[in-house]
Structure 1
């Protein structure tokens, strides 16, 4: 039984293509064209960060281990569809009540907005209660993800300007609002293509 939510609200990208450093330009101008890509990649890598995708992702997975595979499949089939309707707490109670000591419940969950992750198993009343509490917390985070993302974006002032400084971008990253990073190859940048080389074509 699982739930996954994703909320994307926009992206931050360069207003103009990024410029190479003097060191990078030195490699471009001094390397023979036939060796340029290999020389450049060796020093600077293949890609640069072209954009930051803003938003968040959250997921909760609950599973039950039974004495044998057939019993586990039967348990999952009986509970399929209940997870979203009942919520995390009720689902765990259901998992617990339908099994005996031979069964255990596992939780795997993450939330990118607060950079948290949980991986836990329970097979007795004490650990069941702790797992239920943690699963319920992550379920709430997942169901409220869109509102949470918007609140963080508002605190960072993203909706108030079309241009952001480097320090603002750093603060946005630290706030956990970057859901994805878009990478593009250096070889597609204008300076890489048109800066003259000291050596002839080969």
Structure 2
């Protein structure tokens, strides 16, 4: 029975929901979408509370278990092979909302310590959407990461507690620690309806408007095509943009409301079209180059958080560190593998 009880706790009832308990059990990296809230690398996090099926948990921060002096350890911005994706999703089911969002967005909604997350609010709203027809355009960009120059060592106090009681270590410092900040941004423009409206066609019109807005045409004329008096309105718009901390929800039931909804959606979509340029401009304003590795200052780090350019934080398990493995006489392969994530 014990094995089945453990299985039930680890595997969510809804396969589209992330199970942090399962990730922690497997000791794999955990990625949490972020906000503008500052976070010191090395900070611990308690994942143990996410134990019920389908529950991402009530995650809480813990003190860092690392040596506070961080001797010979710097923070480094390292460009990565820029990954830029622009994807359209369509669905025709009341229960298909997960096609239009990253499962990780649900995790951020449970992280009270990071404040209101535009991804989390978007995920909450869209997951409750019961319209039968849905379409979305999603843009995502990662250009680099900020992490330690070398993996720091655990403090003498943390090591002493770990040798005495690993469970006490977990309660004090958590099971994971903040290992790296991934730099970039995410944005999604989502439409839904249960009417006979052709959402794909409507999204194409909005995309045209968005491209016009992005090239900074200041005088914008609404499409002059007339709407039939019998046109069916009942359209929902949801959108978010992590770089501008934007999240919006609206529903239109008449022509005037729909015109305003389309313009709102086009403005958000234009930000997604220009995501690469926007992120590069932010980095440039902070003295960072998306093609150059460099040591960063505390002022630059704070600027990165304030700008909204921290798209997500990677947390790694303490159990993957050599210090932890040596103190608990664990095997070393996991430590070697996970410390590569920091190098």
TM-score class normalised by the smaller sequence: 0.7 to 0.9
Please list, as runs of the form range in 1=range in 2, the aligned pairs for 1:158-177 lying within 5 A after superposition. 158-159=288-289, 162-177=294-309
Residue deviations 1:130-160 (CA, integer Å, cap 9, x gap)? 3223112101111111100000011111226
1:4 to 102, 124, 138: 138
Please list, as runs of the form range in 1=range in 2, the aligned pairs for 1:151-190 lying within 5 A after superposition. 151-159=281-289, 162-190=294-322
Shift of 1:85: 5.7
- Number of equivalenced pairs: 184
Shift of 1:60: 0.6
Residue deviations 1:53-96 (CA, integer Å, cap 9, x gap)? 11111111122331xxxx36xx346x288357634699x979x9
Shift of 1:45: 1.3
Q: Which has the larger radius of gyration?
A: 1
**Higher helix residue share:** 1
Distance 1:89 1:105 in 2: 22
Q: What TM-score results when the alignment is normalised by the length of structure 2?
A: 0.47
Q: Which residue in 2 is equivalent to 1:108?
A: 238
Instruction: Check the 8 A contact 1:88/1:132 in 2, yes or no.
Output: no
Please list, as runs of the form range in 1=range in 2, the aligned pairs for 1:10-29 lying within 5 A after superposition. 10-29=144-163
Task: Flag the structure with more relative contact order, 1 or 2, with Cα contacts below 8 A and sequence separation at least 6.
Answer: 1
Q: What TM-score results when the alignment is normalised by the length of structure 1?
A: 0.76
> Cα RMSD between the aligned structures?
3.2
Instruction: Check the 8 A contact 1:89/1:133 in 2, yes or no.
Output: no
Residue deviations 1:4-38 (CA, integer Å, cap 9, x gap)? 1112111112111133344423312322xxxx2x2
Distance 1:98 1:59 in 2: 29
The alignment partner of 1:158 has SS state of coil
Instruction: Check the 8 A contact 1:48/1:186 in 2, yes or no.
Output: yes
1:86 to 188, 198, 208: 208
> Does the C-alpha gap of structure 1 residues 192 and 6 become closer, same or farther in structure 2, counting only changes over 3 Å?
same
**Unpaired runs of at least 5, structure 1:** 198-202
Q: Which residue in 1 is equivalent to 2:279?
A: 149
Q: Which residue in 2 is equivalent to 1:200?
A: none
